Amino acid sequence: MNIRIAGTVNDSIVDGPGIRFSIFVQGCPHNCEGCHNPQTHDFNGGTVTTTEELLEKIKSNPLLDGVTFSGGEPFFQAEALAALGTEIKKLGLNIITYTGYTFEQLYENRGKNHWNELLSVTDYLIDGPFILAQKDWEIKFRGSSNQRYIDCGKSLAAGRAVETEP
Protein backbone atom coordinates (compact mmCIF):
# COMPACT_ATOMS: atom_id res chain seq x y z
CA MET A 1 0.00 0.00 0.00
CA ASN A 2 1.33 3.47 -0.87
CA ILE A 3 2.18 6.01 1.80
CA ARG A 4 3.60 9.53 1.48
CA ILE A 5 6.42 10.17 3.94
CA ALA A 6 8.82 12.97 4.78
CA GLY A 7 11.41 10.45 5.95
CA THR A 8 12.42 7.80 8.46
CA VAL A 9 14.93 7.41 11.26
CA ASN A 10 16.30 3.88 11.67
CA ASP A 11 17.22 3.96 15.34
CA SER A 12 15.76 6.91 17.18
CA ILE A 13 15.99 7.31 20.95
CA VAL A 14 13.94 10.54 21.12
CA ASP A 15 10.59 9.41 19.66
CA GLY A 16 9.58 7.10 22.50
CA PRO A 17 11.20 4.67 24.91
CA GLY A 18 13.92 2.33 23.70
CA ILE A 19 15.31 2.13 20.18
CA ARG A 20 12.66 3.02 17.63
CA PHE A 21 12.13 3.11 13.89
CA SER A 22 10.40 6.46 13.30
CA ILE A 23 8.24 7.18 10.28
CA PHE A 24 7.47 10.83 9.56
CA VAL A 25 4.40 10.99 7.35
CA GLN A 26 3.91 13.88 4.95
CA GLY A 27 0.95 16.24 5.28
CA CYS A 28 -0.46 18.08 8.26
CA PRO A 29 -3.42 20.47 8.61
CA HIS A 30 -2.58 21.75 12.10
CA ASN A 31 0.22 24.24 11.25
CA CYS A 32 1.24 24.58 14.88
CA GLU A 33 3.36 27.66 15.53
CA GLY A 34 6.92 26.55 16.28
CA CYS A 35 6.39 23.05 14.84
CA HIS A 36 9.52 20.88 14.99
CA ASN A 37 8.77 19.40 11.52
CA PRO A 38 7.27 22.20 9.34
CA GLN A 39 8.63 20.54 6.20
CA THR A 40 6.03 17.79 6.74
CA HIS A 41 3.01 20.10 6.38
CA ASP A 42 2.68 20.13 2.57
CA PHE A 43 0.39 17.27 1.56
CA ASN A 44 2.12 17.11 -1.85
CA GLY A 45 5.68 17.09 -0.46
CA GLY A 46 7.86 14.21 0.62
CA THR A 47 8.13 10.96 -1.28
CA VAL A 48 5.80 8.07 -1.95
CA THR A 49 6.89 4.65 -0.76
CA THR A 50 5.04 1.51 0.22
CA THR A 51 4.17 0.01 3.56
CA GLU A 52 5.91 -3.16 2.37
CA GLU A 53 9.19 -1.30 1.85
CA LEU A 54 8.91 0.28 5.30
CA LEU A 55 8.17 -3.11 6.87
CA GLU A 56 11.31 -4.59 5.29
CA LYS A 57 13.41 -1.76 6.77
CA ILE A 58 11.84 -2.39 10.18
CA LYS A 59 12.48 -6.13 9.94
CA SER A 60 16.14 -5.49 9.07
CA ASN A 61 16.86 -3.90 12.47
CA PRO A 62 16.93 -6.56 15.23
CA LEU A 63 17.62 -3.94 17.93
CA LEU A 64 14.25 -2.19 17.71
CA ASP A 65 11.92 -1.92 20.70
CA GLY A 66 9.18 -0.27 18.69
CA VAL A 67 8.01 1.93 15.85
CA THR A 68 6.87 5.54 16.04
CA PHE A 69 4.39 7.12 13.64
CA SER A 70 4.93 10.88 13.58
CA GLY A 71 4.60 13.60 11.07
CA GLY A 72 2.97 15.42 9.66
CA GLU A 73 -0.34 14.08 10.88
CA PRO A 74 -0.50 10.25 10.96
CA PHE A 75 -4.29 10.18 11.06
CA PHE A 76 -4.41 11.61 7.53
CA GLN A 77 -2.82 8.34 6.36
CA ALA A 78 -4.52 6.12 8.92
CA GLU A 79 -5.43 3.31 6.51
CA ALA A 80 -1.84 2.72 5.40
CA LEU A 81 -0.42 3.11 8.92
CA ALA A 82 -3.04 0.76 10.39
CA ALA A 83 -2.13 -1.90 7.80
CA LEU A 84 1.57 -1.40 8.51
CA GLY A 85 0.86 -1.40 12.25
CA THR A 86 -0.88 -4.76 12.02
CA GLU A 87 2.29 -6.27 10.52
CA ILE A 88 4.53 -4.48 13.04
CA LYS A 89 2.53 -5.96 15.93
CA LYS A 90 3.20 -9.45 14.51
CA LEU A 91 6.91 -8.71 15.01
CA GLY A 92 6.31 -8.09 18.73
CA LEU A 93 7.10 -4.38 18.50
CA ASN A 94 5.11 -1.62 20.16
CA ILE A 95 3.72 1.41 18.35
CA ILE A 96 3.61 5.04 19.41
CA THR A 97 1.55 7.47 17.36
CA TYR A 98 1.94 11.23 17.61
CA THR A 99 -1.06 13.36 16.64
CA GLY A 100 -2.16 16.97 16.72
CA TYR A 101 -5.67 15.80 17.54
CA THR A 102 -6.77 15.03 21.07
CA PHE A 103 -7.76 11.50 22.01
CA GLU A 104 -11.30 12.79 22.52
CA GLN A 105 -11.46 14.13 18.94
CA LEU A 106 -10.14 10.86 17.55
CA TYR A 107 -12.44 8.75 19.70
CA GLU A 108 -15.50 10.79 18.75
CA ASN A 109 -14.66 10.39 15.05
CA ARG A 110 -13.16 6.91 15.21
CA GLY A 111 -15.63 5.53 12.66
CA LYS A 112 -14.23 7.79 9.95
CA ASN A 113 -11.15 7.53 7.76
CA HIS A 114 -9.78 4.34 9.37
CA TRP A 115 -9.05 6.23 12.59
CA ASN A 116 -10.29 3.36 14.73
CA GLU A 117 -7.96 0.89 13.00
CA LEU A 118 -4.96 3.13 13.64
CA LEU A 119 -6.01 3.67 17.26
CA SER A 120 -6.39 -0.10 17.66
CA VAL A 121 -2.79 -0.87 16.64
CA THR A 122 -1.37 2.05 18.64
CA ASP A 123 0.01 1.15 22.07
CA TYR A 124 0.71 4.71 23.16
CA LEU A 125 -0.75 7.91 21.76
CA ILE A 126 0.88 11.30 22.25
CA ASP A 127 -1.97 13.67 21.59
CA GLY A 128 -2.71 17.33 21.15
CA PRO A 129 -1.28 20.15 19.10
CA PHE A 130 2.13 21.59 19.88
CA ILE A 131 1.59 24.89 21.71
CA LEU A 132 4.66 27.08 21.61
CA ALA A 133 3.66 28.98 24.79
CA GLN A 134 3.58 25.62 26.63
CA LYS A 135 6.88 24.30 25.26
CA ASP A 136 8.56 22.19 27.94
CA TRP A 137 12.02 20.61 27.67
CA GLU A 138 11.49 18.59 30.86
CA ILE A 139 8.68 16.26 29.77
CA LYS A 140 9.62 13.02 28.04
CA PHE A 141 8.75 12.54 24.38
CA ARG A 142 6.44 15.57 24.20
CA GLY A 143 7.02 19.13 23.04
CA SER A 144 4.48 21.06 25.07
CA SER A 145 2.84 20.48 28.43
CA ASN A 146 -0.67 20.14 26.98
CA GLN A 147 0.32 16.94 25.18
CA ARG A 148 -0.48 13.67 26.92
CA TYR A 149 1.13 10.21 26.89
CA ILE A 150 -1.90 7.91 26.64
CA ASP A 151 -2.30 4.14 26.95
CA CYS A 152 -4.36 3.67 23.81
CA GLY A 153 -5.69 0.16 24.56
CA LYS A 154 -6.91 1.11 28.04
CA SER A 155 -8.36 4.35 26.67
CA LEU A 156 -10.33 2.61 23.93
CA ALA A 157 -11.69 0.11 26.48
CA ALA A 158 -12.66 2.88 28.90
CA GLY A 159 -14.00 5.29 26.28
CA ARG A 160 -11.81 8.07 27.74
CA ALA A 161 -8.15 9.03 27.76
CA VAL A 162 -6.09 7.03 30.26
CA GLU A 163 -2.75 8.75 30.77
CA THR A 164 0.38 6.88 31.73
CA GLU A 165 4.10 7.56 32.04
CA PRO A 166 6.66 6.63 29.38
Gyration radius (Cα) of the chain, Å: 14
Q: What integer pLDDT is reported at residue 97 of this predicted model?
A: 98
In the chain, % of residues over pLDDT 70: 100
In a domain, 91, yes or no: yes
**Bridge-partner residues for 9, per DSSP?**
22
CA gap 27, 161 in Å, rounded? 25
Segment 96-149, tens digit of pLDDT: 999 999 999 999 999 999 999 999 999 999 999 999 999 998 999 999 999 999
Contacts of 118 (CB under 8 A, 6+ apart): 69, 74, 75, 78, 81, 82, 85, 97
In a domain, 163, yes or no: no
Q: Is 34 or 48 the better-scoring residue by pLDDT?
A: 48
In a domain, 47, yes or no: yes
Q: What CATH code is carried by the domain that includes residue 18?
A: 3.20.20.70
Neighbours of 30 (CB within 10 A): 16
CA gap 72, 102 in Å, rounded? 15
Give the chain's domain count: 1
Segment 12-32, tens digit of pLDDT: 999 999 999 999 999 999 989
How high does pLDDT run on average in the chain?
96
Neighbours of 54 (CB within 10 A): 22
Segment 53-80, tens digit of pLDDT: 999 999 999 999 999 999 999 999 999 9
| Amino acid occupying residue 85 | G
Q: What integer pLDDT is reported at residue 26 of this predicted model?
A: 98
Coil, helix or strand for 118?
helix
CA gap 116, 47 in Å, rounded? 26
Asked whether 39 and 6 are in contact (CB, 8 A), the reply is yes
* Phi and psi torsions of 84, nearest 5°: -65, -45
pLDDT at 36 over 90: no
For residue 91, give its domain range: 2-158
In a domain, 166, yes or no: no
In a domain, 77, yes or no: yes
